[in-house]
Amino acid sequence: MSDADFDILGIGNAIVDVLARSDEAFLSRHDMHKGGMALIDTDQAEAIYAAMPPGIESSGGSVANSCAVASALGAKVAFIGRVAEDTLGQAFRHDITRAGVHFPTAPSTGGLPTARCLILVTPDGQRTMNTYLGACVSLGPDDVDAALVGRAKVTYLEGYLFDPPEAQRAFHRAAEAAHAAGRQVALSLSDAFCVHRHRAAFLELIRNGVDILFANEAEITALYEVNTVEEALAKVAGDVTLAAVTLSEQGSTIVQGAERVRITPAPARVVDTTGAGDAYAAGFLAAYTRGRPLSVCGRLGSLAAAEVIGHFGARPQSDFSRMADAAEG
């Protein structure tokens, strides 16, 4: 890979998470699909917030989380995403900037407030997310600086960004700019319901503009409308150069053409799975952009995911500096 100013440029929703513990009954009472991500409007956000247990606020957003983790792992990272000029937007900017991530996107003013995701964590550690997109909907193609895209080895796109309507155009612009500069494009499918909502658009982008795909079992089978991961892996091998499919406590499988690399999961105390997939992608891309073999990419992904699973919230809470060495082992 040629020299670049950044290892990873992430493009995603800029969100502040509100995380609280709840029981399963709370999910049922509020018609939430456990483990999923639902989009909510202002009224729903107010109603759920009023009802949900006390929590903490932590910067979130899937690809933004990946950017923070990759930076903690020593990667050079930039992020494009839209917050408003408000208290949560300031917190998001502070957190990602102080995580060492270059964040050039100007805040919106006078429009919708900064996005928030109301996250219920059940006793099994599973997270159920309710996202109010707010200012994220004003991210569009003009926010993608083609020159910045060209300066990053990998541009990493968030599947959730298929929800705000203007962002799909931003994706295509980013993918074109990356390939024009000889760079690569990665995409996370983000969520099975999101894949269902935008399946055709996902497939079109994947087949024409994506080199590296991240997905979990539910997402990849939803994408190809198949019943087993094996069938999905066979299909994805023809669509992208490289795919990494996470399989919860079964670890992950990396697919490159006919090659399969199985990664066993790192031991983890499950407190809160929020951000596990984001951290896996971060570890993978941090190793990949340093030219490490696929087995090391997968192991660094697993180690990063294990740390994030061990506490409340999706951003790093401990020292990641020795993790890259551990992944070589």
Q: Rule CB under 8 A: which residues touch its own copies?
A: 18, 20-21, 49-50, 52-59, 68, 86-88, 91, 94-96, 98-99, 123, 311-313, 315, 317-319
Q: Which is nearer to its own copies, 50 or 147 (CB)?
A: 50
Pairing mode, strands 15-21 and 55-59: antiparallel
The encoded tokens of residue 200 equal 């055709």
User: CB 16 → its own copies: shortest distance, Å?
Assistant: 9
User: CB 88 → its own copies: shortest distance, Å?
Assistant: 6
- Using alpha carbons, select from 313, 269, 317 the residue that is nearest to residue 20: 313
Q: Which is nearer to its own copies, 18 or 32 (CB)?
A: 18
* Contact between 320 and 304 (Cβ < 8 Å): yes
User: CB 56 → its own copies: shortest distance, Å?
Assistant: 4
User: CB 41 → its own copies: shortest distance, Å?
Assistant: 18
| String of DSSP letters for 121-156 | E-TTS-EEEEEE-GGGGG--GGG--HHHHHTEEEEE
User: CB 253 → its own copies: shortest distance, Å?
Assistant: 32
Q: Which is nearer to its own copies, 16 or 186 (CB)?
A: 16
- CB count, 10 Å around CB of 127? 22
Cα(169)–Cα(323) distance, integer angstroms: 36
Q: Which is nearer to its own copies, 55 or 209 (CB)?
A: 55
Q: Which is nearer to its own copies, 82 or 315 (CB)?
A: 315
Q: Which amino acid is at 15?
A: I
